[in-house]
Amino acid sequence: MEFDGLSRDVLADLARCVEGVDGSAVRALVDALADARQVTLVGTGRSGSMLAAMAIRLGHVGVAARCVGPDEPVEVDAGELVLVGSGSGRTPVPLEQAGAARSAGATIIAMTADPESPIAGLADHLIAIPAALSADADGPHTLRSLFEEALLVVCDCVCRLLADKLGVTPEDMQARHAPDR
């Protein structure tokens, strides 16, 4: 296996996956983020890392965002927005945290590869990312990482669409970016 061929295969697979995401669901997320006063992002492992990157991007756009770690309780008020990411939609910690947020009256947006999963069932809005999660479906990806790769791309697109909706310029975002050291 050579890098050139592998990278082409990975990018082609990633493009197919991202193209399978429902644009109207993404628009609903952008609208919800535009109206949110506080966004809490919930995820563990690789999905949590992608959501942590989104929290940083939301900060660049000017939206208050925080990630909740796997050992932290989700402390939200009714009407707050919670974005939960889990490829399987069955990961115990995000499922428990999403349930706690639901009980507190938060609005839940789930991003998962399984639209029939328990996390999807808790959601007010769902963004289904059509990535296979079985061990024999890795294709060119390492350990079923297509979901996380697509999650990062979708989250980046969401932040760009949100910036456009809010009239936030690249200069505004750069001003909120950590200075180069």
For the question of residue 148 being annotated catalytic, the response is yes
Distance separating alpha carbons of residues 80 and 112, to the nearest angstrom: 20
165-175 burial code (b ≥16 CB/10 A, e <16): eeebeeeebee
Q: Which of 2, 96, 148, 149 is catalytic?
A: 148
* DSSP letters for 39-91: EEEE--HHHHHHHHHHHHHHHHHT--EEEE-TTS-----TT-EEEEE-SSS--
Residues recognised as catalytic: 148
